[in-house]
Amino acid sequence: MSSPADLTLAEASAGLRGGKLSARELLEATFDRASLTEAELHAYLTIDHENARAAAAAADEAQANGLWVGPLHGIPVAIKDNMVTAALQTTAGSQILAGYVPPYDATAVTALKSAGAIIVGKTNLDEFAMGSSTENSGYGPSANPWDTTRVPGGSSGGSAAAVAAGSAMIALGSDTGGSIRQPASLCGVVGMKPTYGLVSRYGLIAFASSLDQIGPISRTVEDAAATLEVIAGHDPLDATSYRGEYPRYRSLLGEGVSGLRVGVVAELSGAGIHPEVLSAFRSAVDSLAEGGAIVSEVSLPSMEYALSAYYLIAPAECSANLARFDGVRYGLRVDGATVEEMTARTRAAGFGPEVTRRILLGTYALSAGYYDAFYGQAQKVRTLVIQDFTRAYEGVDVLVSPTSPITAFELGSRTEDPLSMYLVDVCTIPSNLAGTPGISVPVGIDGAGLPIGFQIMAPALGEEVLFRVAAEVERASAWNNRRPPMVEADHGV
């Protein structure tokens, strides 16, 4: 018999509204799934049994009194552990923040709670969101539910693994260079990065402030759209927050793609993409054409330089943002004879090797005599990327590519070669540089039984058409009933 933990958000909400399911039953099924999978997955850093159960009981009591709190009433949600949560430890996956309990909630977390969501816990991530495999966590790596010898992707690997395994119905991740979409691709779930500024970054522990964006990870496109409707909105606490209209992102999900113009990005759909990934991608493109989309190939010449530009801009911003972790104000402190020695010892003990690498790279790129040659040039390339996208969207409604050039790789196989790890994000980074939305939808399985993701990109504030195309890709792939083998074989699904 199927567990309530395997329902979609839409199915669970219908069950709750109809009285066939209670918030407590749904939460306990989620906890049961976590107890069965966490020993292998390590998707969570913290599971908040006590407060979640109290919230579920309150949700059931409210419904008994005729009150439906909001669109996420009674839904178990996981939060990536770089978003602050009041009275619940927030570490950003780093030992430098071990034991830190914030005094407030991130705006996106507040929005979830206001909509009735039940916060299950905080998920594992690459330290300060710096990584593509969740192996850089200061608390140990997470594993992929489809094959626990492989990575779940990163940096939101814990969130993607939890949703795929059923220990959360939906989850929030953050995406700086692909950190929602890439793990969603590797774990066989839907991951969506909104337009920069559409979701408030207030309470998100910053990695690279001009690139970071919070977004949903879910089992279906409809669930992702529903979650974005909850967390999107202007926030006066975030100076970059969008002030315009916020439409209903589910409004066009059933409209199909007839007449829509779809551009296949030539630079992201050829050399360097694994043959099985490319085959699944081409099949999904063919399904869009069969649905009436007008498909053409589009060239974005600056894509060749986007990865290099990103790995100068992001570390430079990381260098500035992480300067606050000095052992003085909060977090870890390792004593020294002087303030300088104390700070040096604290940072040496608290930061892992990947964070240290990026701080050093960013500090070098910003240093006197090198700023113009490195950071300045990278920003010029960023402008070229934006211009390429702008020109492309004059002729097409959306752009498509594989989400990741490969499927999930083995744990430990790339940790000694940072460049090979960075190349995993080659398809996702351009949207972050441009500030435009992107989504990954699962479309197939490779010969090893590992998921393959299909990426759709749209112009800034083009979320409606993005979800419309994603829904058609999802429908054609018939993915919705697939579950990882560890769930199907071991847990009675």
What's the rounded mean pLDDT across residues 93-115? Answer: 97
For the sheet containing 398-402, what is the strand order? 44-47, 118-123, 76-80, 170-174, 214-218, 190-193, 438-445, 451-457, 398-402, 261-265, 294-298
Amino acid at site 377 = Q
What's the rounded mean pLDDT across residues 168-180? Answer: 98
Helix (H) or strand (E) holding 37: helix 23-41
Tell me how far CA of residue 296 lies from CA of 225, 260, 360, 454, 490, in angstroms: 27, 11, 42, 16, 44
Q: Please give the pLDDT value at position 480.
A: 72
Confidence label for 486 from pLDDT (cuts 50, 70 and 90): confident
The rounded distance, in Å, linking the Cα atoms of 68 and 166 is 24
Phi/psi of residue 385, each to 5°? -60, -45
Q: Please give the pLDDT value at position 493.
A: 40
What's the rounded mean pLDDT across residues 69-91? Answer: 97
The partner residues of 264 in beta bridges, in order of sequence, read 297, 400
The rounded distance, in Å, linking the Cα atoms of 387 and 384 is 5
Confidence label for 84 from pLDDT (cuts 50, 70 and 90): very high
122 catalytic, yes or no? no
287 catalytic, yes or no? no
What radius of gyration, in Å, describes the C-alpha atoms of the chain? Answer: 21
| Burial of residue 18 (number of CB atoms within 10 Å: 0-12, 13-18, 19+) | exposed
Other residues' Cβ atoms within 10 Å of the Cβ of residue 324: 12
Q: Is the pLDDT of residue 254 over 80?
A: yes
Confidence label for 478 from pLDDT (cuts 50, 70 and 90): confident
Confidence label for 489 from pLDDT (cuts 50, 70 and 90): low
The rounded distance, in Å, linking the Cα atoms of 23 and 79 is 18
Confidence label for 491 from pLDDT (cuts 50, 70 and 90): very low
Q: Is 113 contained in some domain?
A: yes
Q: Is 319 contained in some domain?
A: no
**Annotated catalytic residue, options 94, 132, 137, 179:** 179
**Annotated catalytic residue, options 94, 142, 155, 440:** 155
CB 127 within 8 A of CB 388: no
CB 165 within 8 A of CB 37: yes
Summarize pLDDT for 402-418 with one digit per residue, the tens. Answer: 999 999 999 999 988 88
Summarize pLDDT for 420-456 with one digit per residue, the tens. Answer: 898 999 999 999 999 999 999 999 999 999 999 999 9
Q: Is the pLDDT of residue 490 over 50?
A: no
- Dihedral (CA of 484, 487, 492, 493) sign: negative
* Structural domain count of the chain: 1
CB 90 within 8 A of CB 84: yes
What's the rounded mean pLDDT across residues 50-78? Answer: 97
Q: What is the length of the chain?
A: 493
Phi/psi of residue 439, each to 5°? -140, 145
What's the rounded mean pLDDT across residues 108-116? Answer: 98
Q: What is the CATH number of the domain that holds 200?
A: 3.90.1300.10
Long-range contacts of 20-24 (CB under 8 A, 24+ apart): 22/56, 22/60, 22/74, 23/56, 23/57, 23/59, 23/60, 23/63, 23/73, 23/74, 23/118, 24/53, 24/56, 24/57, 24/60
Confidence label for 234 from pLDDT (cuts 50, 70 and 90): very high
Task: Indicate the DSSP class of residue 436.
Answer: -
Summarize pLDDT for 447-475 with one digit per residue, the tens. Answer: 999 999 999 999 999 999 999 999 999 99
Q: Is 342 contained in some domain?
A: no
185 catalytic, yes or no? no
What's the rounded mean pLDDT across residues 96-119? Answer: 97
Closest listed residue to residue 231, CA positions, set 398, 43, 77? 77
Q: Is 147 contained in some domain?
A: yes
**Annotated catalytic residue, options 80, 113, 122, 193:** 80
Q: Is 353 contained in some domain?
A: no
CB 250 within 8 A of CB 225: yes
Mean residue pLDDT across the chain = 96
Q: Is 69 contained in some domain?
A: yes
Q: Please give the pLDDT value at position 418.
A: 85
For the record, the structure tokens of 78 come out as: 């996981």
Q: Is 382 contained in some domain?
A: no
For the record, the structure tokens of 190 come out as: 């839907």
Q: Is 314 contained in some domain?
A: no
Q: Please give the pLDDT value at position 318.
A: 97
Summarize pLDDT for 183-220 with one digit per residue, the tens. Answer: 999 999 999 999 999 999 999 999 999 999 999 999 99
- In which domain, by residue range, is 166 found? 4-300+387-490
